[in-house]
Amino acid sequence: MRIALFGNHYQEKYKTELNLFVQYLQEAGELIIEKDFGQYLVSIGIETQKAQSFDIDTFNGAELAVSIGGDGTLLSKAALLARHHTPVVGINTGHLGYLAACSLNDASAMIERIKSGECRHEERTMLQLVSINGKQCDNIIALNEIAILRQDTTSMISMPTTINGTMLTTYMGDGLVISTPTGSTAYNMSAGGPIMMPMTSCLALSPISPHSLTMRPIVVSDDSEIVVTINTRAQWIQVSVDGMAMTLPSGSTVKIAQAPYRLSVIQKLNHNFANTLREKLLWGADQR
């Protein structure tokens, strides 16, 4: 099995467990390590002599990708992995680890489960920023959300929005979050949007601080084409794609749709979405 490994640079306190896991991976298959992460591993004393390095720009896929870190680490590589049809398993060394399958202590056992087929592959919908002002965009992909935001100003944003060419409404407020089911427990939830089960075929549009009591989140089919024109008295606005922000002039129009591919996220066979909500988000917990 060809295994691609990547992670963040905050692993010092897990050095012992990480060293054992990396040595295991080098024996478990053909290990390739993302170049920057490999250099980081060597800098903290972890041997990677049996592995090869790869550059993000020349990555051509693997049978399995292993993400070590938090949800942000996995998000940062989601588009790349989905484009190359490479399933990913998350090993949590971050805070919440909502997308992760297990902790570092259980990582080797998780790889053994994957090799023997004792796991689930969840195909996650992704979003694509299709065009800006009519100009096609190239591979601007989000696993969680695309958010339209104010740019260093208190000026309200007016956002006429169409779904599949039909006028939906004009959102007025601080912004708008267009979320996948995977991202429904991220920015969308903070904006008051609905929680959606990861495998549902839908998207959520959730206004941020709307200037109307009647302006509520709405769920639409994931095959919807969403077009938003962004107007404000300020000169600039922001469009954030899974936290990566770009600045656009006021008056810009963006088209958003489902990406042409999905990300395969690996979980344990007994993984349960409701349990994850209760355990990691304390959903429904009685704090009295």
- Assigned domain for 288 exists: no
**pLDDT tens string 193-245:** 999 999 999 999 999 999 988 899 999 999 999 999 999 999 999 999 999 99
Q: What is the pLDDT of residue 90?
A: 96
Per the structure block, which two tokens stand in for 51? 């592995």
Q: What is the pLDDT of residue 280?
A: 77
Domain extent for 146: 127-258
Same domain, 113 and 223: no
Same domain, 192 and 276: no
Of 173, 167, 170, 151, the residue nearest 159 (C-alpha): 170
- Give the C-alpha separation, 241 to 146, whole Å: 5
Of 206, 189, 183, the residue nearest 71 (C-alpha): 183
Residues of the chain with pLDDT under 50: none
Task: Confirm whether pTM is higher than 0.85.
Answer: yes
Same domain, 72 and 103: yes
Report, as residue numbers or ranges, the catalytic residues: 71
Q: What is the pLDDT of residue 217?
A: 96
Same domain, 158 and 212: yes
- Assigned domain for 287 exists: no
Same domain, 183 and 111: no
Q: What is the pLDDT of residue 6?
A: 96
Name the burial class of residue 158, with classes exposed (0-12), middle (13-18) and buried (19+) by CB atoms within 10 angstroms of its CB: middle
Q: What is the pLDDT of residue 153?
A: 77
Same domain, 134 and 244: yes
Residue pair 61/39 in contact by the 8 Å Cβ criterion = no
- Give the C-alpha separation, 104 to 124, whole Å: 23
- Give the C-alpha separation, 103 to 167, whole Å: 46
Q: What is the pLDDT of residue 152?
A: 78
Same domain, 8 and 102: yes
Residue that has been written with the tokens 């300020």 in this structure: 234
Question: How many domains, in total, are found in the chain?
Answer: 2
Cβ count near 27 (within 10 Å):
8
CATH number at residue 66: 3.40.50.10330
Same domain, 160 and 254: yes
Mention every residue, 6+ apart, whose C-beta is less than 8 A from residue 264. Answer: 82, 85, 86, 87, 88, 121, 122, 123, 124
Same domain, 46 and 159: no
Q: b/e per residue, 130-148, with b = 16+ CB within 10 A?
A: bbbeeeebeebbbbbbbbb
Strand 2-7, strand 52-54: pairing: unpaired
Say whether 80 sits in a helix, a strand or coil. helix
- Assigned domain for 90 exists: yes
